[in-house]
Amino acid sequence: MESTKITAETIRSMKSGGEKIVALTAYDFPMARLLDEAGIPLLLVGDSLGMVVLGYSDATHVTMEEMEHHVRAVARAKPRALVAADLPFGSYATVESALINARRLIMAGAEAVKAEGGRAILDQVRAIVAAGIPFIGHLGMLPQHVIEEGGYHIKGKKELEHRALLADADALVGVGAFAIVLELVTAPVARQMTGRVQVPTIGIGSGPDCDGQILVTPDLLGMLPWRPLQHVKAMLNAAEQMRFAVELWKQGVEARGGPRTQDEEEVKPIRVHVRVPVRTPEWLPVSIRVRRKVIPKTGCRPVG
Ligand code: KIV
């Protein structure tokens, strides 16, 4: 596997090289390590942390201390990937606070920072870039503005929004952003922005024509069945697989007190619902023999 460290410049040059940028969020050491081993070039310690790890209702509750804690955990994996981190809500309201907090994230192990907004935060972005900190913009639906916007709405449908998105993208590139995340931007507007700016656009729910795509990893893996997924097709049903493994182990402990010798490993066939492939909506009841050490690769759960 290629071992050269990925930098902001690597990500930027992927656009001119015609290489799609595949990015995912990471919040801790094992996830960072696994995603890095899978060859993901850009890991974002996103403030989605608040909703998918810390149990907050939205991103506005995440603090600098929480971001630093999780950036440190991701950085300990020493990934080849570039590690970017979100400046959380309220941490970049002024140029001074933006600079102090961007530096704090870098000290914690981030190699780039991201913040939401375009022309409204231009002075902050200029100062961050001037301090030598690679910066990623974030336009479209801005999760840190969810309260004032009254929800998560698609951006770019109205002419005014469309023009604002183009102006914001131009402004961010003008002050040195090396990439821009486009969240929930209509596909035609995202395509236009991608064709217009020199730096890569990385889309989430913004159609296929961005220079790359990013997802919240627990959404991709189906870890949070209670979280509505508008724009994500989960590739795995990790929540079901975890429940299945835990129930299987629990049943073993309750019946026999725990794992026994290798010879005793085979247990009675139990009926489980299996779905193959993982995205088939119906559960198919089948009987399979389950060894305690073997967790079926497809999504499955015990009956009853
Ligand atoms: O916080 C986050 O995870 C993000 C992604 C949705 C891009 O900003």
For residues 131, 134, 139, 143, the Cα torsion angle rounded to the nearest 10 degrees is: -90
Neighbours of 258 (CB within 10 A): 10
CA distances from 194 to 31, 61, 246 (A): 29, 31, 45
Report yes or no: 266 and 248 within 8 Å, Cβ to Cβ.
no
Checking if the pLDDT of 294 tops 50, the result is no
CA distances from 304 to 217, 222, 244, 245, 294 (A): 30, 21, 12, 15, 20
Which pLDDT score, from 0 to 100, does residue 152 have? 83
pLDDT in tens, 206-252: 999 999 999 999 999 999 999 877 788 899 999 999 999 999 999 99
pLDDT in tens, 174-198: 999 999 999 999 999 999 999 999 9
Identify which of 214, 215, 220, 229 to mutate to test ligand 1's pocket (most ligand atoms within 8 A of the CB): 214
- Nearest partner of 34 among 210, 213, 207, 236, judged by Cα: 236
Report yes or no: 49 and 90 within 8 Å, Cβ to Cβ.
no
Annotated active-site residue in 68, 183, 254, 265: 183
pLDDT in tens, 64-78: 999 999 999 999 999
Residue 46, ligand 1, Cβ within 6 A: yes
Residue 218, ligand 1, Cβ within 6 A: no
Q: What are phi and psi of 179, to 5 degrees?
A: -165, 160
Q: What is the DSSP letter of 279?
A: T
Q: Is residue 32 very low, low, confident or very high in pLDDT (cuts 50, 70, 90)? A: very high
Q: Is 97 helix (H, G, I), strand (E, B) or coil?
A: helix
Please confirm, yes or no, whether 183 is among the known catalytic residues: yes
The closest residue, in CA terms, to atom 3 on ligand 1 is 46
Residue 116, ligand 1, Cβ within 6 A: no
The closest residue, in CA terms, to atom 1 on ligand 1 is 46
Which pLDDT score, from 0 to 100, does residue 271 have? 53
Average confidence (pLDDT) over 146-152? 84
- pTM, two decimals, is 0.86
Identify which of 40, 86, 224 to mutate to test ligand 1's pocket (most ligand atoms within 8 A of the CB): 86
The residue ranking higher by pLDDT, 204 or 260, is 204
The closest residue, in CA terms, to atom 2 on ligand 1 is 46
Please report the beta strands in the chain, taking only residues with DSSP state E, as ranges in sequence order: 21-25, 42-45, 82-86, 112-116, 135-140, 179-183, 201-204, 212-215, 270-275, 284-288, 299-302
